[in-house]
Amino acid sequence: MGMFSQAISNLFKKPFTKLYPAEKYEPIKDTRGRFVMDVTRCIFCGLCERNCPAAVIKVDKARKRHETVISGCILCYRCQEVCPKGCISFREHYAPPTVARTALVHEILPRGQEPARGAAVEERKDVEGGTAWAYTIELPLPGPGKG
């Protein structure tokens, strides 16, 4: 088929690509996902932080706090591989495009204490010694020259 007739026939075919981001795609099994963590099993050893190639994990043992900048995660699954307690997993998830920097925080706070204002709480569970929280916070965007 010549180039001209190919172009004409393509006019009547369905597009080969999706109109991203207007059209939502269905997540493909075992590919992209969303970071999930069970903070109640975490020993705050920092192995995930030290092995994250994107440097998006911060672990604070004293505060029993685990923070991941999920908008910077490259989904390499290295943290899941190195975690000795099996705390980290990933679930299929469609993440719409965004310019926001979002951190997902898991922490155990003393009973009665709540995350700072502005936190979007995803989960809370009373555990031995406090309450386990999972919430997201929006981080400031890096300015020029700040990386």
In the complex, the residues that contact ligand SF4 under the rule CB under 6 A are: 42-48, 52-54, 56-57, 59, 66, 68, 73-79, 82-83, 85, 87-88
Q: How far is the CB of 116 from ligand SF4 (least distance, A)?
A: 21
Distance CA 25, CA 95 (A): 10
Q: How far is the CB of 139 from ligand SF4 (least distance, A)?
A: 15
Nearer to ligand SF4, 7 or 55 (CB): 55
Q: How far is the CB of 93 from ligand SF4 (least distance, A)?
A: 13
Nearer to ligand SF4, 79 or 115 (CB): 79
Find, among 108, 94, 130, 104, the residue nearest to 37 by Cα: 104
Distance CA 137, CA 147 (A): 20
Containing 103, the helix (H) or strand (E) segment is strand 101-109
Nearer to ligand SF4, 71 or 131 (CB): 71
Distance CA 125, CA 143 (A): 36
